[in-house]
Amino acid sequence: MEEAARRQRDEMLGIRSQGKLPKPGDAVAVTVQGAEPFEPRAEKGIYLAQCDEVPSGARVQVQRNGRNHVVITRLPAILDNVSSSWRTHTTPMGDLAWVSNTGETRDGDAVRDLGLDLGLLTVEERGMGESAIEGRPFVATLKGAGSNPTQDRCQILPHELEQEINNSERRAQVKAVQLVTDTVDARVLTDPQTSPEELEKWIRDGLQPELAKLREKDIFEEMPVSQVPSGAKILPAKVVLTKKPQDPGSVDAGDPLSEWRAKARVVACGNHEQGTFGHDPENTSTNPSIEAIRWSASCLARNPDWTGLVLDVTAAFLNAEMDDDQTFVRPPGVLSRVGLQEEGKVWRLRKVLYGLRKGPRLWEACRNGELNGKRFGVAGHEYWLDPLDSGVWAVRDAVDSGSFHGIFDMYVDDGLIVGPIGMCRALAEMLVTLWELKLQGFLECNELQCGQTVQVGDTAVKVQSEVPFLGMVIRRSHEGVWLHQNPWVQSELAKRGWECMRGSMSLPEIIEGQTEPVVRDEAYGADLLQAQSQAEVEASATTYQVGSKLREFIQAALGYKLQTILYGDNSACIGNLMRGSEYVQPARTRHFGMRCAYLRDHLKADNIQVQHLGGDKLPANGLTKTLAKTKLELAREQMCVRRLSL
């Protein structure tokens, strides 16, 4: 009623609306508030009426979880009527039917009898063959009285194109399945419906190699349950079965079992451990920061003769010694049922078994204890590993402790060696003597071309134009070194069937109209300027804290002090930070006053200069502001974020 009265009033007064406004009953699209990543950011609805509670507001009926809801939103977008695509379908009874991509159906006989009244003509009626395959596509337009040709047009796709679309969807589904590792319930080993061939594959390729590896590494000591000390807790264990994607070249189309590789892992149930809890900080391991990984990439870019070697330690946790001899594990019962484990036995752990909460901490201690200060040599030249942080080592000359010949990063069990070719090969050969490694590849450089191999011990390692590390890819070209995540992005798009979608070069728009309007007077302007200045002080303090850690890391790697400059684009903030320590800055809260004094004193003590830099030259704008397309392209260039041609 309100909407009808509003429209009648506007019509009588001759008030014209700006732009095209929806009418009650029109299909519209509205923004979904708080949408999760990869979730739809808009939903369809039916426009009801305007709403004066918010600027440019509207009441829209949407359907969620099968129920209708009326929501208040801003600026709903009118949806155009989408034309339907039709194709013919022959039922098992031999009847002809029309099916659209929106789920509509039409009886072929009725269409044939009524002709243009329904706007559908079969190819057969055009005399172009007996079936859609032999015919050709056409567009039938309804031209009856009062019809709208634009809205009533039905596009009929060729049969070959329709089949190609269906095949593409099926290929996308198959590819998505191949990209995902599938976890299988361990009860498949005792399920009567499991085929003997599949059961044999799980035992032969999964369970037997896993138990052989545990015994080879001397992970446990087998003993009767009666010998367990009184009061000791026996942790349960289970078997985790996974189907790994198989190499497409080794898949037999006639054998479904060849589509996946069987992998089994015996895991202790760490949630039953005593004296600990989930996510206990005492059990976590320290890993290299993203700044340390970027520093390694920077070293590669600055030294064209250097290469990078990516490796990972096989079953890393199984190499760490237990810190006590009173950890007992009951083997999974399924091992006894398939004849791989004697009943009535328990395992006393000598080394870490996967699943223990303290496993990451024990592996970190084992790894750092082996590598800190470790010496290795090549061609009569001796190097040593200088620990900069947990999981990060600088490679230095054994004679000159201030030299820098490369860097070695290890994130849990994944490693990246950056430096001269001979040093990388010598360090990898030393690591092979400690643990079992998988050498994934060398990165090409001036002296190594893609396709060559480098001999590391008994293994010939390929030279590649790009190597994967920690979910990203390190690539070298004539322009420099690139870090990208294209394989991960492609796999995520394939899972959702979004491979053919076109991306946007713009940042998402900020949703406005969520707060009450404020009167724009002089007091508002003064308060806004003060708020902006104090927000810049907070951002500068955070930058100082993060930047100081990075500066200390680089200084420790290079062995000399670095001149540091703090940039900002807010004049009030810069002027405040450059005042003397005796100056007291009025602030809205005591916290901001203390924050500013804290930052000013530390900048002076660390001899860090503060300089003003215009917003058009400040790279941080690309990460903190919603920029237009042109400014966003400039910010990308300043941050060295570029489009990679694959």
Structure confidence by residue, pLDDT tens digits, 314-336 = 989 999 999 888 899 999 998 99
Are 302 and 401 within one domain?
yes
Contacts of 568 (CB under 8 A, 6+ apart): 536, 539, 540, 574, 577, 610, 611, 612, 613, 618
Instruction: Tokens for 636, please give them.
Output: 């990308």
DSSP labels for 249-286?
Answer: GG--TT-GGGGEEEEEEEEE-GGG-TT--TT-GGG---
Are 63 and 144 within one domain?
no
Tell me: pLDDT of 578 over 50. Answer: yes
Q: Using only the alpha carbons of the chain, give its radius of gyration.
A: 34
Q: Residue 212 has what pLDDT?
A: 92
For residues 527-534, average pLDDT: 82
In a domain, 481, yes or no: yes
Tell me: pLDDT of 457 over 50. Answer: yes
In a domain, 271, yes or no: no
For residues 169-198, average pLDDT: 73
Contacts of 431 (CB under 8 A, 6+ apart): 311, 415, 437
Are 550 and 468 within one domain?
no
Cross-strand pairs, 406: 395
Q: What is the DSSP letter of 189?
A: G
CATH number at residue 46: 2.30.30
- How far separated are the first and last CA of the chain, in Å rounded? 58
Q: What is the DSSP letter of 247?
A: P
In a domain, 203, yes or no: no
Query: Which is more confident, 77 or 241?
Result: 241
Are 46 and 109 within one domain?
no
Please report which residue ranges of 152-288 form alpha helices under DSSP H.
159-179, 196-202, 208-216
Instruction: Kindly report which listed range (72-86, 449-463, 477-491, 599-613) carries the lowest average pLDDT score.
Output: 72-86
Q: For the chain, what is the mean pLDDT?
A: 81
Instruction: Kindly report which listed range (35-49, 344-358, 421-435) carries the lowest average pLDDT score.
Output: 35-49
Structure confidence by residue, pLDDT tens digits, 43-87 = 888 888 888 777 778 889 988 877 888 888 887 888 876 556 677
Q: Residue 312 has what pLDDT?
A: 94
Are 54 and 100 within one domain?
no
Are 369 and 444 within one domain?
yes
Task: With CA atoms as reference, report the closest residue to 478 among 498, 454, 450, 452.
Answer: 450
- Interatomic CA distance for residues 202 and 199, integer angstroms: 5
75 phi and psi, to 5 degrees?
50, 60
Percent of the chain with pLDDT over 90: 34
Please report which residue ranges of 398-440 form alpha helices under DSSP H.
421-432
Are 17 and 93 within one domain?
no
Contacts of 400 (CB under 8 A, 6+ apart): none
Structure confidence by residue, pLDDT tens digits, 117-138 = 344 444 444 443 333 333 333 3
Are 587 and 483 within one domain?
no
Torsion over CA: 120, 123, 125, 131 (sign)? negative
Query: Helix/strand/coil (H, E, C) string of 388-418?
Result: EECCEEEEEECCCCCCCCEEEEEECCEEEEE
Are 475 and 365 within one domain?
yes
In a domain, 522, yes or no: no
For residues 439-455, average pLDDT: 93
Tell me: pLDDT of 583 over 80. Answer: no
Are 94 and 71 within one domain?
no
Looking at 102, 127, 157, the residue that finishes a domain is 157
* Helix or strand (DSSP H, E) at 293: helix 290-302
Structure confidence by residue, pLDDT tens digits, 265-322 = 999 998 888 777 777 788 888 889 888 999 999 999 999 999 999 999 998 999 999 9
Pairing of strands 392-397, 406-411: antiparallel
Q: Residue 635 has what pLDDT?
A: 84
pTM here?
0.67
Are 308 and 444 within one domain?
yes
Pairing of strands 220-224, 345-349: antiparallel
Residue range of the domain that includes 566: 534-613
Evaluate whether 112 touches 126 at the Cβ level (below 8 Å). no
Q: What is the DSSP letter of 76?
A: P
Contacts of 630 (CB under 8 A, 6+ apart): none
CA dihedral 504, 505, 507, 508 (to 10 degrees): -20
- Interatomic CA distance for residues 64 and 44, integer angstroms: 10
Contacts of 580 (CB under 8 A, 6+ apart): none
In a domain, 599, yes or no: yes
For residues 232-258, average pLDDT: 81
Identity of the residue numbered 53:
E
Task: Place 646 in a pLDDT band, splitting at 50, 70 and 90.
Answer: low
Tell me: pLDDT of 559 over 90. Answer: no
Tell me: pLDDT of 110 over 60. Answer: no
- Interatomic CA distance for residues 596 and 573, integer angstroms: 9
In a domain, 115, yes or no: yes
Task: Place 379 in a pLDDT band, splitting at 50, 70 and 90.
Answer: confident
Are 299 and 421 within one domain?
yes
Instruction: Tokens for 558, please give them.
Output: 């290079």
Q: Residue 237 has what pLDDT?
A: 94
- Interatomic CA distance for residues 312 and 13, integer angstroms: 76
Q: Residue 456 has what pLDDT?
A: 94
Q: What total number of domains does the chain contain? A: 4
User: Within 13 A of 585's CA, how many CA atoms are on the CB side?
Assistant: 28
Instruction: Kindly report which listed range (231-240, 460-469, 621-630) carries the lowest average pLDDT score.
Output: 621-630
In a domain, 231, yes or no: no
CB atoms within 10 A of CB 635: 21
Structure confidence by residue, pLDDT tens digits, 423-441 = 999 999 999 999 999 999 9
For residues 153-160, average pLDDT: 64
In a domain, 430, yes or no: yes
CB atoms within 10 A of CB 353: 24
Looking at 428, 454, 488, the residue that finishes a domain is 488
Instruction: Tokens for 358, please give them.
Output: 């303290």
Looking at 140, 157, 174, the residue that finishes a domain is 157
Percent of the chain with pLDDT over 70: 80
CB atoms within 10 A of CB 360: 19
Instruction: Kindly report which listed range (65-79, 101-115, 486-500) carries the lowest average pLDDT score.
Output: 101-115
For residues 459-471, average pLDDT: 92
